[in-house]
Amino acid sequence: MNLKITKKKFTALILLFLLPLASMAASKKSKGPTVNLGALLALTGPIEGMVPPILDSVNMAASEINKNGGILGGRELKLTVGDSKCSAQGGADAAKKLVNINKVSGIVGALCSGASTAAASGVAVPAGVPMISPASTAPTLTNLKDNDLFYRVIPSDAYQGLYLANLVLKKGIKKVSMTFVNNDYGIGLAKSFRDNYKKAGGTIVAESKHEDKKASYRSELATLRKGGPEALVLIAYSEGSGQTIMRQALENKFFNRFVGADGMISEKLLKRIGVKQLKSSFFSRPVASKTRAATKWEKNFGQFSKHKLKSIFAREAYDAAMILALAIQKGGSDDRATVKANIRAVSKAPGEIIEPGEWKKAVELIAAGKDINYNGAAGDHELDKNGDVPGVFGEFVVQMGNSFKQVK
Amino acid sequence: MDILYGWMMYGLSLLTVGGIYGIIVLGLNLQWGITGLFNIGIAGFFAVGAYSTAILTSPATENHVGGFELPVAIGLLGSMFFSGIMAFIIGKICLRLRGDYLAIATIGLAEILRLILKNEVWLTSGPRGIPGIPRPFEELGQPWAEIAFLLIVLTILFIIYLALQRAIHSPWGRVMRAIRENEKAAASTGKDVDGLRLEAFVIGSIFMGLGGALLSHSMKFVGPSASDPLVTTFLAWVMLTIGGSGNNKGAVIGAFIIWTVWSASELLSGVLSFKWMNQLSYFRVFLIGFILQIILQKKPEGIIPEKVYQHK
């Protein structure tokens, strides 16, 4: 057999590659007008492990809507997933396809803050497509020049820093050391904590930025301990540097009291470190888990997906998709400008409250001309003028049985 | 009509990014294809270019130095200048090495460069990146803004292509190839081998920096993830290898083909069920490797191989 690539074979190869594209264009026409939403998720890349439950959750929203009579009077809601690869290029490139080829009316995403920024400012904003991110927490996104098109249903790290600073002071701790992981999460949260803590009269005697996944942080810890801090503010991930730092600080008796944020709350951490040593430590995290809406979502998600309930950002992703769908339904059109104009209208009080799984009720209320207010699995989502949600945070301490307990 | 418009808009962006990669790959072709310098530190020069223009042209912020809000043209020239300076310094240090040793040195220094840019928060805003980079002719609105930007990219690509085409067919280009084939022979005829290698390295890296700058104007944002070696170094090398190392036309065509495959293969997800969408993303990376294998096995010199000229 002659395996040389001739011109003919090369053309055949290219045609083969184009075939699915052509069939896709054709199939779209035959199905009639679908209402299109995009989900810009980091399917590959550094956070790929987190994504499958998020994908399931967005898909659950779409399937609930389609099962309950569809959108805009029986049309099908079609979800297209783009892979942002958690990078700026990937985000912009995938958004280009969603916006131009898939003709989406809105985008759920992106997840990583860099991908969100590039996708929003480079693609979605010029094209007038609204985006709702379920996971980008970088404070810089607050002031993005977004023409009121970029929203998020997860609080900016700036709010958690403020909460944490006040919590630490309320406990009477006036002198702390701080170390944070060197990425957008760590830097953003640390800056917000630093600013708010100092403003309210606290003193940070030493602080350091550390790289994730090193074997030893002992020298950093030795430096951080100088100046007599009462606790160590540790902004890191429990699966990464957070756990190592905590263990080495305890082993070497550098610190015995820690203040952590959402990245540190994991039961695995307690199994490895032990509850006893962390009795005086406390943690903060955005909370919404106690509401009725959240319980409903949990029940539905448990049936829909094989992934665990604890998966982070899955609730937010569901809410983002629901807000976009409700905005389409309320505006009565999948036109992008209409969607944009209705995002705040469907998520803000006052109005009849809509919770996860209540698509049918929402459609009926809208048809009756009533104002609706979506209260989601991850919170009430009262979007402010920058498109941010304030977020509710809770204080967590450890308890026996290796778990966290919310105390406030 | 609406669907056609969408495909046209997407086509514009494919050509824009493809053209930007074309500029980078032309730089790599000068270094590797013509002169034989094994540079796998493209990401570093790309990052210097991308951040230089970002700092020079973006509006003021409290997060990092900058706020100069200079015109985009100045930003592009600045990024060429800074990546050239960096290449000069790195070249002075590394170019004494040959072959794979040079490769290791370039990847090391380029990673250092990238880490500096990631960590010097006062300069680059660190992991948060720099948003709000202007894109020229933005105020025209869609689709004219995209068309104008594409024309800018294609014009730059064309000028660089013509210049390099002339350069390789001049005596200068012949010396470069002589160096690639046999350095000692070239030196024995009295050519300043070290100086010429440095020239090729600096000029090639300037184009890489320019490519990075254009890409950050196209995305209007730059952050550490933008200069990830996977989407800079690796992709550029695949493009050159597939297109045809040593041939400028091959370099440009390779850039367009590979970027199209890389980006457009995602459209397949439209016909796949949800279950398979997750897998598709990995399949795309696999596809690039697969194409590379086929080309290397069947056409080791690339789609358009280097032409050997007989000079009389």
Q: Indicate whether A180 and A260 sit together in one domain.
A: yes
CA atoms of A377 and A307, how far apart (whole Å): 16
Pairs across A and B, CB distance < 8 A: 157
Closest residue by Cα to residue A356 from A313, A309, A321: A321
Residue A238: the pLDDT is: 81
Are A186 and A179 contacting, i.e. CB atoms less than 8 angstroms apart? no
Judged against a pLDDT cut of 90, whether residue A85 lies above it is answered with no
**Is residue A26 in a domain?**
no
DSSP letter for A39, please.
E
Of the residues A215, A249, A280, which one is the last residue of a structural domain?
Answer: A280
β-strand pairing of A352-354 with A107-109: unpaired
Tens of pLDDT, residues A370-407: 999 998 888 888 898 889 988 778 888 888 877 788 87
Say which of A80, A100, A113 has its CB closest to residue B10: A100
Which of chain A's residues have a Cβ under 8 Å away from the Cβ of B10?
A: 96-97, 100-101
Which of chain A's residues have a Cβ under 8 Å away from the Cβ of B285?
A: 44
Which range of residues forms the domain containing residue A268? Answer: 158-280
**Is residue A196 in a domain?**
yes
CA atoms of A131 and A366, how far apart (whole Å): 22
Q: Is the Cβ pair A122, B129 closer than 8 Å?
A: no
Q: Which of A100, A125, A210, A334 to mutate to test the interface with B (most CBs of B within 10 A)?
A: A100
Tens of pLDDT, residues B20-57: 999 999 999 999 999 999 999 999 999 999 999 999 99
- How far does chain A reach from its first CA to its final CA, in angstroms? 74
Lowest-pLDDT range, A251-265, A266-280, A320-334, B93-107? A266-280
Q: Indicate whether A252 and A141 sit together in one domain.
A: no
Q: Is the Cβ pair A88, B221 closer than 8 Å?
A: yes
Of the residues A261, A280, A299, which one is the last residue of a structural domain?
Answer: A280
Query: pLDDT: is B164 or B140 the higher one?
Result: B164
Specify which of A31-35, A209-213, B190-194 reaches the highest per-range mean pLDDT. Answer: B190-194
Q: Which of A117, A146, A192, A304 to mutate to test the interface with B (most CBs of B within 10 A)?
A: A117
- Name the one residue in this structure whose structure tokens are 């209705």: A342
| Chain A nearest-CA residue for B299 | A5
Residue A391: the pLDDT is: 78
CA atoms of A102 and A98, how far apart (whole Å): 5
**Is residue A11 in a domain?**
no
* CATH value at residue A317: 3.40.50.2300
For residue B103, the distance in angstroms to the closest alpha carbon of chain A comes to 25
Say which of A27, A44, A88 has its CB closest to residue B226: A88
For residue B61, the distance in angstroms to the closest alpha carbon of chain A comes to 10
| pTM score above 0.90 | no
For residue B81, the distance in angstroms to the closest alpha carbon of chain A comes to 24
Say which of B138, B269, B299 has its CB closest to residue A81: B269
Judged against a pLDDT cut of 80, whether residue A252 lies above it is answered with yes
| Chain A nearest-CA residue for B282 | A44
Q: Indicate whether A147 and A163 sit together in one domain.
A: no
Which of chain A's residues have a Cβ under 8 Å away from the Cβ of B220?
A: 118, 121-122
Which of chain A's residues have a Cβ under 8 Å away from the Cβ of B271?
A: 20, 23-24, 27
Q: Indicate whether A126 and A185 sit together in one domain.
A: no
Phi-psi region at A307: left, alpha or beta (left = phi > 0; alpha = psi -120 to 50): beta
| Chain B nearest-CA residue for A146 | B132
Phi-psi region at A335: left, alpha or beta (left = phi > 0; alpha = psi -120 to 50): beta
| Chain A nearest-CA residue for B261 | A17
Q: Is the Cβ pair B131, A117 closer than 8 Å?
A: yes
**Is residue A404 in a domain?**
no
Which distant-in-sequence residues (6+ apart) come within 8 Å of B289 by Cβ?
none
Closest residue by Cα to residue A310 from A295, A300, A298: A298
Domain ranges of chain B: 9-228
Q: Which of B142, B144, B225, B293 to mutate to test the interface with A (most CBs of A within 10 A)?
A: B225
Q: Is the Cβ pair A92, B263 closer than 8 Å?
A: no
The alpha-carbon radius of gyration of chain B (Å, integer) is: 20
Say which of B138, B219, B271 has its CB closest to residue A24: B271
Which of chain A's residues have a Cβ under 8 Å away from the Cβ of B145?
A: 126
Which of chain B's residues have a Cβ under 8 Å away from the Cβ of A17?
A: 261
Are B292 and B241 contacting, i.e. CB atoms less than 8 angstroms apart? yes
Segment A190-219 mean pLDDT: 91
Q: Domain total for chain A?
A: 2
3-state class (DSSP) for residue A73: coil
Judged against a pLDDT cut of 80, whether residue A7 lies above it is answered with no
Judged against a pLDDT cut of 50, whether residue A26 lies above it is answered with no
Q: Indicate whether A256 and A299 sit together in one domain.
A: no
**Is residue A286 in a domain?**
no
Are A38 and A98 contacting, i.e. CB atoms less than 8 angstroms apart? yes
Q: Is the Cβ pair B221, A96 closer than 8 Å?
A: no
Judged against a pLDDT cut of 60, whether residue A29 lies above it is answered with no
Of the residues A280, A303, A322, which one is the last residue of a structural domain?
Answer: A280
**Is residue A50 in a domain?**
yes
For residue A24, the distance in angstroms to the closest alpha carbon of chain B comes to 6
Q: What percent of chain A has pLDDT over 70?
A: 90
Which of chain A's residues have a Cβ under 8 Å away from the Cβ of B282?
A: 44
Tens of pLDDT, residues B144-176: 999 999 999 999 999 999 999 999 999 999 999
**Is residue A2 in a domain?**
no
Q: Indicate whether A148 and A47 sit together in one domain.
A: yes
Say which of A52, A87, A138 has its CB closest to residue B228: A87
Lowest-pLDDT range, A296-300, A360-364, A403-407, B72-76? A403-407
Say which of B145, B225, B282 has its CB closest to residue A114: B225
**Is residue A19 in a domain?**
no
